[in-house]
């Protein structure tokens, strides 16, 4: 009878070890995946108030969550992409995601994980291209321009 008791205890301890290993693997999978794939976006836009003067230029600053830790410094060009989502209602009923380049930003100032940039080039409105919103907006994705 005592042999069965020790066997039950041994098997119970082995099951606990296996359960702890499974839990550790699951936790690692969720936390590790968060560190690998990260979207860099415009998270804030600040602009001057237009005063109504003729030929007035309204300055805008774009705040992005990519900084010196990711290799961005003063003068770096960032490509700006808009995700456009469309549904095919006829054949497959599938939703398609398009990553369309809508322009470029030039970095004015960097911190560890953030940067301030200004408009360098905009593709919105050129060659009669139509996008959802005319201008850069919060949530547009940014990446370092590769030459």
DSSP summary character for residue 135: S
Q: What's residue 72's pLDDT?
A: 93
Q: Which domain holds residue 138?
A: 42-50+57-144
Is there a contact between 99 and 81 (Cβ–Cβ < 8 Å)?
Answer: yes
Blockwise average pLDDT, block size 10, the chain, 147 residues: 55 62 71 65 91 87 94 93 87 87 94 94 69 80 86
Residue whose token pair is 């600053």: 61
Cα separation, 114 vs 117, whole angstroms: 10
| φ and ψ at residue 138, rounded to 5 degrees | -60, 135
CA atoms within 13 A on the CB side of 107: 23
Which helix (DSSP H) or strand (DSSP E) does residue 15 occupy? helix 2-36
Domain tally, the chain:
2
Chain centroid, CA 145 distance in Å? 15
Residues 69 and 30 in one domain: no
Is there a contact between 83 and 96 (Cβ–Cβ < 8 Å)?
Answer: no
Residues 69 and 107 in one domain: yes
Q: What's residue 39's pLDDT?
A: 87
Residues 6 and 28 in one domain: yes
């Amino acid at each position: 009878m005592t042999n069965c008791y020790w066997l039950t205890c041994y098997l119970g301890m082995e099951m606990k070890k296996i359960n702890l290993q499974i839990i550790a693997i699951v936790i690692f999978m969720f936390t590790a995946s968060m560190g690998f794939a990260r979207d860099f976006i415009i998270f804030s836009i600040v602009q001057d108030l237009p005063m109504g003067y003729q030929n007035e230029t309204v300055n805008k600053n774009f705040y992005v969550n990519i900084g010196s830790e990711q290799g961005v410094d003063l003068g770096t060009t960032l490509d700006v992409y808009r995700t456009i989502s469309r549904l095919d209602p006829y054949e497959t009923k599938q939703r398609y995601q398009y990553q369309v380049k809508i322009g470029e930003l030039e970095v004015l100032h960097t911190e560890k994980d953030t940067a301030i940039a200004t408009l360098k080039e905009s593709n919105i409105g050129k060659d009669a291209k139509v996008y959802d919103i005319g201008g850069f907006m919060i949530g547009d994705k940014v990446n370092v321009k590769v030459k």
